[in-house]
Each structure stands twice: as structure tokens, then as C-alpha cells.
């Protein structure tokens, strides 16, 4: 998964997650990425500053004895609230909030996701927010058919032990 900062031709900025750089390129070429503010499909990547941590291989002589040096913060472990131990605690909180929102406001349809999404798109079933699993080729087919789908940056609670 990769997150890009994006900008539309009306100068609206937003972010979105993609399976990989190639997925972004193909969705952009097919004009399947739209600005959430104005709906424009003229979207490009904008500058995004990476979050860089200092190297762990830096060797410096401590000026004070080790027992009096302050403890360095550690990366939080994975919990139900933070699905993975991410190096950026803010990103972990944002993903956890997204997971909570999706799981409380959407129906989990599991491996029936592709058929459910297609049926809703065709009008055979009423529209409702859903989430579940799809193979990458099935997701591509849905996108080619114009069905609005996107990968989620977390594993659903239904799939965890």
C-alpha cells in the first residue's frame, strides 16, 4: 500500500491509498480518481514530504552515564486500536479511526464482496456501504466496469484471531 498526496486541476488537495504506484498510474489514465471536493478527474500527485527517522546505526559517545540518559520513545505494539505497529503513531491512529468507522458504518460481506458490489452497481440490490475481500484481478474488473472500489489499509477484524 502506498499513500499519495494528490491535487486536482481546481487546486484542491487530498490524499488516497493505492495498492502500488502502477495502480495509481492505471487509475489516473482511466480517469477513475476524482477529487472528493469538486469531482474533477484531472488529478496529479503533489509534493509530499516523507517522514524520515534518524538512522539506527549512528554511534555517538554518551555524555552522561547510560542510567541517567532519558529513555527514547518506542514504536507502539499492534493492538486492536492500531492494526499494525507503524513507525508513525499519528498514521496508526488515523488508520485505526478509519477501521472503526468502516466497521461500524458498513456491512462486512467477506468473500461475497465482488458479487455484492457488482449487484449494487447494476441496481439489482440497494446501495449500502460494504467491505470484504476481493482478489486483485477481481478488483480490477470491478474498476473497469465503473464500480467504485478501493483497498483498505487494514485487515478487517473478521479476518483476525
Question: Mean pLDDT in each 10-residue stretch from start to end of the chain (161 residues)?
Answer: 85 85 85 86 78 61 50 44 59 85 90 93 92 89 90 76 47
Matching residue, cell 478527474: 41
Cβ pair 38, 12 in contact under 8 A: yes
| Domain range list for the chain | 1-48, 80-161
For residues 39-59, b (16+ Cβ closer than 10 Å) or e, as one string?
A: eeeebeeeeeeeeeeeeeeee
Amino acid at each position: 500500500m502506498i499513500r499519495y498526496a494528490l491535487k486536482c486541476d481546481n487546486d484542491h488537495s487530498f490524499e488516497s491509498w493505492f495498492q502500488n504506484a502502477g495502480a495509481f498510474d492505471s487509475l489516473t489514465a482511466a480517469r477513475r480518481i476524482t477529487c472528493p471536493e469538486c469531482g474533477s478527474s484531472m488529478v496529479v500527485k503533489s509534493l509530499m514530504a516523507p517522514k524520515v527517522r534518524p538512522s539506527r546505526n549512528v554511534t555517538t559517545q554518551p555524555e552522561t552515564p547510560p542510567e541517567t540518559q532519558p529513555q527514547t520513545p518506542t514504536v507502539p505494539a499492534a493492538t486492536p486500536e492500531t492494526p499494525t505497529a507503524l513507525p508513525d503513531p499519528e498514521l496508526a491512529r488515523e488508520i485505526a479511526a478509519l477501521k472503526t468507522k468502516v466497521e461500524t458504518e458498513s456491512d462486512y460481506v467477506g468473500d461475497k464482496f465482488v458479487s455484492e458490489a457488482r449487484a449494487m452497481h447494476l441496481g439489482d440490490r440497494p446501495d449500502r456501504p460494504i467491505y470484504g475481500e476481493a482478489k486483485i484481478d477481481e478488483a480490477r474488473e470491478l474498476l473497469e466496469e465503473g464500480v467504485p472500489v478501493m483497498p483498505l489499509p487494514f485487515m478487517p477484524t473478521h479476518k483476525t484471531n
